[in-house]
Amino acid sequence: MDCEKIQGNFSYNGLTNYSAELSIMRIYAIIPAYNEERNIGKVIEGIKKYTNNIIVVDDGSNDGTSKIARKEGVKVYRHIINRGLGGALGTGIKAALSENADIILTIDADGQHDPEEIPNLLKPIVSGDADVVIGSRFLKNQRMPIFRKTGNYFFNFITFLFFGIWSTDSQSGMRVFNKKAAESLRTLTSGMEVSSEIMTDIKTNELRLKEVPIRAIYTSYSLSKGQGFWVGLKTLAKLFILKITK
């Protein structure tokens, strides 16, 4: 893919009209990771095309995730115990804000997301058209395992039913927040339910939301991650508690 050089040595295809904005923006990438030594290095390398401000949150891994991330020269925050996706995202976003991040990207560590699509998610933020951008796997006609598709549709519906906000991919791990949006997040949950909680924060704080189509890269490894049946039931129960308490 041909990319135009805009900010230092970084390449942002299709964003040359925003070169002035990008030149002064601090873009951070947050990678929550749990036992991801297999793919974490490749994910980091892909993100380095767009920013060197990369934070890996090792959520209590018992493999070489932290060691590999440090070899890549990125910042690593390590939880002593496995706190869950929400805990890892909270640590990463807080760390990025403490370093005056202007834009915060979250991306999964299992290789499911294509870093080449980062510029597409950045554009609505940089242009000022959105506060939050979600990379949606359902805006493109692509093959997806039926159990994964059904699970995502189910939690899209539950998120709308419980909290009154609709997204075609509420459980997507590829998102971009501007500083205002990141500062307004009040994540109380620690597990997978954080994805739906983020949607409630978007609604509560009247943040402008846009969705951008992304490609999902499914492998036997990435499919082994995410929510299985029992994790899904636990997530549903926690969302119900969140609904009656938040």
The per-residue pLDDT for 196 is: 94
The per-residue pLDDT for 74 is: 98
Rg of the chain over CA atoms, in angstroms? 17
**What is the distance between the alpha carbons of residues 35 and 50, in angstroms, rounded to a whole number?**
25
Overall residue count recorded for the chain in this entry: 246
Domain coordinates in residue numbering, the chain: 5-245
The single residue listed with the structure tokens 């995202």 is 89
133-158 per-residue burial string, b: 16 or more CB within 10 A, e: under 16: bbbbbbeeeeeeeeebeebbeebbeb
Q: What is the pLDDT of residues 203-244, one digit of tens each?
A: 999 999 999 999 989 776 656 665 565 577 778 888 888 878
Within the chain, how many helices (H) and strands (E) appear? Answer: 10, 9
The per-residue pLDDT for 198 is: 96
For 12-167, list the strands marked E by DSSP. Answer: 27-33, 54-59, 75-79, 103-106, 132-136
Dihedral-angle region of residue 130 (phi above 0 means left; psi in -120 to 50 means alpha; beta otherwise) = beta
The candidate with the shortest Cα–Cα distance to 155, out of 91, 72, 231, 246, is 231
Q: What is the pLDDT of residues 161-182, one digit of tens each?
A: 999 999 999 999 999 999 999 9
The per-residue pLDDT for 225 is: 62
Query: Could you tell me if 92 and 57 are in contact, meaning their C-beta atoms sit under 8 angstroms apart?
Result: yes
Query: Could you tell me if 163 and 196 are in contact, meaning their C-beta atoms sit under 8 angstroms apart?
Result: yes
Coil, helix or strand at residue 137: coil
Q: What is the mean pLDDT of each run of 10 residues along the chain (246 residues)?
A: 43 72 90 97 96 97 98 98 96 97 97 95 96 95 83 93 96 97 88 93 97 87 60 79 78
Specify the fold of 5-245.
Answer: Spore Coat Polysaccharide Biosynthesis Protein SpsA; Chain A (3.90.550)
The per-residue pLDDT for 5 is: 36
The per-residue pLDDT for 240 is: 80
The per-residue pLDDT for 26 is: 96
The per-residue pLDDT for 235 is: 82
